[in-house]
Amino acid sequence: MGSGARSARRAGAGDPRRLHAGHARRGPAHRAAVGRVTPRKDRGRGGDTPRPAAPASPEAAGPPVLTPVTTAMNTVGALLVLGMVVIVNIDVFGRWLANAPLAGTLELTEMGVVAVVYLTIGHAVAGRRLTRSDAALGLLHRRGHRRTELALRTVFNAAGATVFTIIAWGQLPRLADAWNYNYFKGNVGIFTAPTWPLEAIMLTGAIAAALHFAALTVRRARALTGGSDDRT
C-alpha cells in the first residue's frame, strides 16, 4: 500500500504536464508580457483609455504675427540678465583683487533691470504668467458663475491693454527727446551710456503687452457671447 502510493507520487513528480501545469497555463501570456513595452497611454490608466490632450502652448494666446517677436524679445531679455551677471561679477572681483571697479556697472545694471522687464512683459502676458490674484475668479469658477468670471477676465485684460497703451503713448516723447538731445546716464569723462535704447525698449515692450492684452480681451469677449471656452 505504502510502496504503491510512493510509486504514484514518483510517477506524478516525473510527469512534466503535472509538474509544469500552472506554468504552462500562464507561461505564454507571462512571457509575452515580459519584454513588451507598455504604451504610454496604458500605464496606470486601466487599458486603452487615452490620455487627455496636452494643453496648447501658452504662446498661442497671442496673435500669430506678434508671438515670434515677443519670443525673440524674451530671449534677448534672458541674455541681458546673463550679461548683467557677468558685469557685476567683473566689478566685484575687480574691486576685491585689484581695487579697480568696472566703470559703468551701476548705470548699466540700472538700465538693464528696466530693459529686462519690458523685454519680457509681452511674453509674460502672452503666456498668461503675469502676476495677478485669481482668488475671486477661482471662487466664481468653482461656484459655476461662469459668465461673471468671463466678464471679470474681460475687464482685467481690457484694463491691461489700456494701461500699456498709455505707457506706450507716454514713451513716444521720451524717446524723441532722448534721441534729439542725446540724453545719457553716467559721468562725463568716466562712463556715459545713451538712454534712447532703453526708451525704445520700453516703447516696444509696452506696445507688445498692449497688443497681447487686446487679443486676450477679444477672446474673453467671444467666450462671453458663446464662443470658445478658453480660460485666460
Q: What is the pLDDT of residues 177-204, one digit of tens each?
A: 999 999 999 999 899 999 999 999 999 9
pLDDT digits (tens, 9 = 90+) for 125-172: 988 888 777 777 777 778 777 788 788 888 989 999 999 999 999 999
Model pTM?
0.68
Model confidence band, residue 63 (pLDDT cutoffs 50, 70, 90) = low
SS3 helix, strand, coil % of the chain, rounded to 5? 70, 5, 25
Dist. CA 74–CA 132, nearest whole Å = 20
Which residues lie across from 185 on neighbouring strands? 193
Which residues, in sequence order, are CB contacts of 210 under 8 Å at separation 6+?
Answer: 160, 161, 164, 165, 167, 168
Is residue 218 within 8 Å of residue 154, measured between CB atoms? no
pLDDT digits (tens, 9 = 90+) for 81-130: 999 999 999 999 999 999 999 999 999 999 999 999 999 999 999 888 88
Burial grade of 23 (CB within 10 A; 0-12, 13-18, 19 or more): exposed
pLDDT reported for residue 77: 96
Closest CA to 171 of 196, 134, 194: 196
